[in-house]
Structure 1
Amino acid sequence: MVANRNFYEPLWRDARLVEPERFNTWPLVSQLLTKATCHLEVAPGLRPRLPVDGTAFVDISMHALTKLAVGSGRPVMASIGRLPFADETFDLLCALDIIEHVDDDQRAMAELARVATIGATLLLSTPLHPEMWTPFDDFVGHRRRYEPKQIQALLHHHGFIIERSAVFGMKPRSSLLLDLGMWFLQHRRERAMKWYNRVMPYTMRLQKSLQLHEGLINTDEVGEVLLVCKRVSPGSTPS
């Protein structure tokens, strides 16, 4: 967690909050909100996908939490491994690009299951295929990339089934852009963040619409996946 905080706290210090309506997840989220009454998003930084107003947010970055509070969110300083909420509190949960960062993913998933109501929806994304590991994974503090069967087993063990899924994330055509971005964040952070804040609104237009499919998609050569999961009673979880 210390390594993650050391990376993301300076990042969010100079970044701006991006409204969830600007992401390609918003049509899906809008649909889910019609039936959800209590929402939690874990580790959104300044890129929340659930509506800021009325959503409980957990993060380890004080800079992110402060800016989410200004936007009428309900921010709490905590980690995914110890969520400060009662059992079966939330019927819509979001944990994008987080499970691959934690040392103990079993505990993290157990906490998500604990605070979810039976029938709750969990939006979860994670990178796939260890053989796709790049220096960028190290740079942003990833602990692992999952094999598809591993993430399925982790979810099933904690009472979640995958209802729908889609290819996720924006993959650059060349690694040169990522390499350049990493260098600037390491050596010219202030300049990098000014550039990022200026360019971010335009890059949002490059997002492709989510192509959701029933169950788990064919993940061959898929670098990152978005999973729409349902919390079920342990007895009804597939083996």
Structure 2
Amino acid sequence: MPSHRGKLSLTETNRRFYERLWSEAQLVEPQRFNTWPLVSELAARARRMLEVAPGLRPRLPLDRAQFVDISRAAMTRFRSRGAAASVGIIHALPFADGAFDFVCSFDIVEHVDDDETAFAELARVAAPGAALLLSVPLHASAWTPFDDFVGHRRRYEPNDLADKLARHGFAIERSAVFGMQPKSSRLLDLGMWFLTHQRERAMWWYNRVFMPLGLRMQKPLQWKQGFHDEPGIDTTLLICRKQG
């Protein structure tokens, strides 16, 4: 089971971890991710786009979207590229109701204590008919020390996640496997040891070696209708539609 932290501690853990990570990383262009073919398709039909908590790994086009993140270092880098970016949190998005036709949020709702408010905010800023592109980790049984380290509060069970999205007005259209839990824990244990005992060295290897290598090894996303779940899925990527 997850080891839950105090509310203030969790928020501060997230802020410190990602502020440190993004201050030492380079911005990765959205065209380099395997999500780009889908994003291009959805963006072509959207006039107003928002990405929540992109860090320095944005999926939406920098010149057309609005970005908001808890990391000041990340948003400063976005603004240096001419992107519309502001510092903020998912619980209080600084935008009007129904302001966006396409909302994107990768790996964020699992980090917050009050995910109901987070989902409510995503729903509030999404216009009727808007697309929501959302990724979350699945299955509490797949919890590892890494979830604790990066500040995860939960992993979602598929049925519970679908019900939660429906309560906030989102219908799931398609899903894709977005990560697989490794069969062996040795690599994870080694990574955790370096992150805990040699953080600077671990960050250097992540930003300069493992991230570029991971980008090269990406495979095209395989989409299925509805919410697809199977044993071993670590993270799911969902395309949802805001109901009228």
TM-score, length of structure 2 as denominator length: 0.91
Aligned pair partner of 1:81 in 67, 91, 94 = 91
Question: What's the counterpart of residue 237 of structure 1?
Answer: none
The answer as to 2:71 corresponding to 1:61 is yes
| Mapped partners of 2:192, 2:224: distance in 1 | 33
Question: What's the counterpart of residue 123 of structure 2?
Answer: 113
Question: What's the counterpart of residue 7 of structure 1?
Answer: 17
Q: Is the 8 A contact 1:54 1:72 kept in 2?
A: no
Aligned pair partner of 1:143 in 140, 150, 153 = 153
The 5 Å alignment of 1:15-54 reads 15-54=25-64
RMSD: 1.4
CA separation of 1:186 and 1:218: change in aligned 2, threshold 3 A: closer
The 5 Å alignment of 1:60-209 reads 60-169=70-179, 171-172=181-182, 174-199=184-209, 200-209=211-220
Which letter maps to 2:65?
Answer: T
Detail structure 1 runs of 4+ shifted over 3 Å in the superposition. 170-174
Question: What's the counterpart of residue 223 of structure 1?
Answer: 234
| Mapped partners of 2:196, 2:38: distance in 1 | 35
**% identical equivalent positions:** 60
1:192-219 deviation line (CA, Å, top 9, x unaligned): 2332232122221111210011111133
Which letter maps to 1:69?
Answer: R
Q: Identify unmatched segments of 5+ residues in structure 1.
A: 234-239
| Mapped partners of 1:116, 1:148: distance in 2 | 22
CA separation of 1:63 and 1:161: change in aligned 2, threshold 3 A: same
CA separation of 1:150 and 1:178: change in aligned 2, threshold 3 A: same
CA separation of 1:171 and 1:133: change in aligned 2, threshold 3 A: closer
Find the residue that maps to 1:193 and give its secondary structure. Answer: helix
Q: Is the 8 A contact 2:181 2:232 kept in 1?
A: no
CA separation of 1:64 and 1:206: change in aligned 2, threshold 3 A: same
| Mapped partners of 1:48, 1:10: distance in 2 | 17
Q: Identify unmatched segments of 5+ residues in structure 2.
A: 1-10
1:2-24 deviation line (CA, Å, top 9, x unaligned): 22102111111101101111111
| Mapped partners of 1:132, 1:191: distance in 2 | 27
Q: CA deviation at 1:173?
A: 5.0
| Mapped partners of 2:26, 2:197: distance in 1 | 21
Q: Is the 8 A contact 1:132 1:223 kept in 2?
A: yes
CA separation of 1:218 and 1:190: change in aligned 2, threshold 3 A: closer
**How many residues matched?**
233
154-163 vs 220-229, greater mean Cα deviation: 220-229
Which letter maps to 1:56?
Answer: Q
Q: Is the 8 A contact 1:98 1:126 kept in 2?
A: yes
